[in-house]
Each structure stands twice: as structure tokens, then as C-alpha cells.
Copies of this chain bind each other. A is one copy, B any other.
Amino acid sequence: MSIESKMITIAKSARTASRKMAACSSSQKNNTLLSIADNIEKNAVDIKAENQKDLAFGREKGLSDAMIDRLTIFDDTLQSMANGLREVAQLQDPVGTLSDTKLRPNGLQVSRMRIPLGVIGIIYESRPNVTIDAAGLCLKAGNAVILRGGSEAMYSNQALAVGIGQALIENDLPAGAVQVVPVRDREAVKHLLKQEESIDLIIPRGGEGLIRFVVDNSRIPVLKHYKGVCHVYVDEDADLKAAEAICFNSKVQRPGVCNAMETLLVHQASAEAFLPIMAKRFEAAGVRLKGCPETCRILPSIEPAGEEDWPAEYLDLVLAVRVVQHMDQAIAHIATYGSDHTEAIVTRNDSRANRFLKEVGSSVVLVNASTRFSDGGQLGLGAEIGISTSKLHAFGPMGVKELTTTKFIVQGNGQVRE
């Protein structure tokens, strides 16, 4: 069978399975999640053996240590996959809930019923845990899901798929409800992205290259963010102790992720007092600073920032710093160079805090808190399938509810339109 025919078969069988998934009960879905968790534990030896094949292949291909680390399934990786599924089973099931019920003047009762999206395709890179996390969230929301992980994790993902398949059988759900694409060739992704009659949504997870490839080749709607160029703005009325803690945490706690700070904006009235202390702390942690002319005047030892630094996503211990004349300049800087992901203000002034919350157009806007809280778990969604920086359907971290939509249901007693 050609790759194209294989992908068409997978997509169609997901579409058929999605109808059964939409009608199945919360307990059937939750029991399936618990079965997958148990099966991961039962199959641990096999999964780790298959993972070793990927690792050997990866070392041969010369993957970096960081890549090998991401690819490795440790005992606690398996445990956290299983625990994650058990937590998702505890979440509320959004499907079937009614909202916005209204009685129309002609007696029609109109409601919105929450329903699954249908079929979701997830395209991701090396981490095998995405296979389990994404399957769990999509199933919980009543969707069928097609998972296409990185070719370097193929054995690991197929080994994880075994436990998923067993769980579907044990709980009388169709095998098409979760499918892990067994094709290494990237052509497979291209063909999947053309199945717009069968697949409702694509979520890519990975680097900017993967995401651009998916967007450029998809006929199906894509929810994604390209990058996170997150800002912290330290206002003239900031508590500078709090600002120091928030900026340090936003930059240093985990610099390689999309909600880490990449540019620090400081009001000119706070700069002289704040920057020297902050710079000392950053330098002790190995953070390289790049500053605007005013920043370099205050901190003569740092290197100047160029125009290319303002839109940069370093994902590393590097930080661009700019002194602004007032908050409007900070907001304009964010609108020009930001990525609509996450921004924070540090201030004790409520009216400026509210204006910042309202006028900054990003998907997550924080007052007096670290940008690192921009995460589905931290914001209380229970778990996160990804982050969207496009405004359609969902904007920001997406949980189970964002994997559903609503339809209108209307109950009448014979009404016709005049």
C-alpha cells in the first residue's frame, strides 16, 4: 500500500471511530484512560527495550545529548505518563453540557451543547510522553486522535501504542479512536495534512521548523504557536524586590521553554535603582545581557543589543534589556516585537495594571507574577494539549475544553417560520 493510501485509511477509520467516541459515556472514557495507565506500567519492560532501539539509532545518527535525554524513557517517565492519565480521568467531562439556554418568543428553546471536535491530528517531535499525554486529553474530550511522533522515537511510540490498543479493546472502543502512525517517512505527514474531509484539527508540537512545515502543507485548520518572545515590564511604581524575583524566575528557572522571558522592559524612573542589582543577580546565574543605549549607559560592561535582538527567542541564558520612557512605549514595543504569547507587568499601581491587562494583546497577561505561570496546569486547566497564539478557536494554553466545540440544539412543538 502506498503511504498516501495508508494515511487515507487511517484518517477514514478515525472519522468512523469519532462517531462512536462522541456518543460514549464519561465513565467509558475514564475507564479507558485508567486502562492505558495500567498497561503502561504492565508493559514497562517492553517499552524500555523498544526505547533502547531508538536510542541506539539516535546515537548512530549523532543526536545531541539534549536530544538523547528528551528521547529517553526512564522509570519515572513512565510513572509520570501513567499518573498524568489518572489525573485526566479525574477532570470534568465537558461533553454534553448545555449552556446559553434561552426561550425564544415563539416558544423555541435554544441551547448550546458541548460536543467533541471529531478527529484531531497531533504532529510532534522527539518526546515519547506526548504520545500518551495527547492521547489522554483527546480521548477525554471524546475525539478520535491520530498521533504522528518524530521518526527518531518510532519504536518507543509504537511500544506505547500497544498499551493504548489493549485499553481500547478492554473498554469496547474502536481501534480507530487512537492511531499511532507507523510510517517513518515525512511524506506521511504531508498526506495526513490533506485529509480535510476526515480530520478536523491539526496540532503541531515542536520547533518552529516543524510548525512552519505543517502550516505550509495543511488544508486542515492548525492550532499552533511559532515562538514565545515573552516580556516583563518593570513599571515606575514597581516593588523592586518583587520585580527582581519575578524577572529572575521568568528568565532563569527554565530558559529553554516558550514562556521564559526574552526581553526585559524597564521604566526610566526605575532603571537606575533596579538594573544594577538585577544585572548582578543575572550575571551570577550566567545570564548574558544585551542592552539598549540607555541600559548600556547604566550597565557599561554589557554588550549593546541590535535590532535583531528585540524579536529574538533565545531559549537560552541570554536577555535583551530596554529602558522605556513610559508604559505606552512598553506596550508599543510588545505589539511590535512580541509573539502574542505571554507578558507580565510588575507594578503597585492598579490603574496601570488594569490598562496593561486590557491593552496588551497577548494570550496570557500577568500582573506581579512570573511569565512561567503561562501553562495549562498552572492556570488551572488540569492539563495542556498545547498553546495557541492565533486567536481562532482558542488563544493561549489549551486544555480538554478547547478540544471541544458547541452545536445548537432547538426544541419546539411544531413551530414554522413566518
Contact = CB atoms under 8 A, between A and B. Distances in A.
Nearest to A410: B366
Contacts of A263: none
A408 interface: yes
A411 B344 CA distance: 10
A408 B397 contact: yes
Nearest to A335: B19
B200 A417 contact: no
A110 B417 contact: no
A367 B410 contact: yes
A22 B361 contact: yes
Contacts of A117: 391-392
A227 B414 CA distance: 25
Interface in A357-411: 357-359, 361-370, 372-374, 378-380, 390-397, 405-411
A248 B415 CA distance: 12
Contacts of A221: 221, 390, 392
A372 B245 CA distance: 59
Contacts of A219: 215
Contacts of A370: 415-417
A380 B221 CA distance: 28
Interface in A242-265: 242, 245-246, 248-250, 253
B395 A253 contact: no
Contacts of A372: 416-417
B417 A373 contact: yes
A409 B357 contact: yes
Contact of A413 (B113, B118, B368, B390): B368
A369 B200 contact: no
A392 B398 CA distance: 13
Contacts of A19: 335, 359, 361
Interface string A177-211: 00000000000000000000000110000000000
Contacts of A380: 102, 104, 110
A315 interface: no
B391 A395 contact: no
A271 interface: no
Contacts of A394: 405
A345 to B, nearest CB: 10
Contacts of A364: 407-410
B115 A392 contact: no
Contacts of A306: none
A273 interface: no
B416 A406 contact: no
A49 interface: no
6 closest A-B pairs by beta carbon, nearest first, are A369-B412, A249-B416, A242-B414, A372-B417, A393-B393, A366-B410
7 contacts: A96-B358, A102-B380, A110-B380, A249-B416, A370-B415, A373-B417, A392-B392
Interface of A: 19, 22-23, 96, 102, 104, 108, 110, 113, 115, 117-118, 200-201, 215, 219, 221, 223, 239, 242, 245-246, 248-250, 253, 335, 353, 357-359, 361-370, 372-374, 378-380, 390-397, 405-417
